Amino acid sequence: IAGITQAPTSQILAAGRRMTLRCTQDMRHNAMYWYRQDLGLGLRLIHYSNTAGTTGKGEVPDGYSVSRANTDDFPLTLASAVPSQTSVYFCASRKRGGSTDTQYFGPGTRLTVL
């Protein structure tokens, strides 16, 4: 693995189903983020984690949950998917304390909820 990986690449899901989007990084970054990107809108933060064992809510957390059991993995779960959760989901990570604190992004998961 090099950088950040996400799985699946894309998914079509029936409304009401539970879904977990996976995110793994091998850069030993302590901070990780989940964003959604919708046409005409900027990236919106769903949840974040500043370090393993801690999580926080972003701008649009409703309907989503996360966990951070270790440094590398940060899964995002939709407990009961709704059509408004159709979006492209990006996971990102950041090494806190660096000179620019740049966020690095995974390739994204395209989710369609019908």
Partner 1 sequence: GQNIDQPTEMTATEGAIVQINCTYQTSGFNGLFWYQQHAGEAPTFLSYNVLDGLEEKGRFSSFLSRSKGYSYLLLKELQMKDSASYLCAVRDSNYQLIWGAGTKLIIKP
Which residues are at the interface with partner 1 (CB under 8 A)?
40-45, 48, 58, 90, 100-108
Q: Which is nearer to partner 1, 8 or 18 (CB)?
A: 8
Here the tokens at position 96 are 């806190």
Q: Centre a 10 Å sphere on the Cβ of residue 51 and count the other Cβ atoms it contains.
A: 13
Strands (DSSP E) found in the chain: 4-7, 10-13, 19-25, 31-37, 44-49, 56-57, 64-66, 76-78, 87-94, 103-105, 109-113
- Name the 3-class secondary structure at 42: coil
Nearer to partner 1, 18 or 76 (CB): 76
By beta-carbon proximity to partner 1, the closer residue of 18 and 22 is 22
Q: Please provide residue 77's backbone torsions phi and psi, each rounded to the nearest 5 degrees.
A: -115, 135
CB of 69 to partner 1, least distance (A): 22
Distance of closest approach, residue 1 Cβ to partner 1, in angstroms: 15
| CB-nearer residue toward partner 1: 80 or 112 | 112
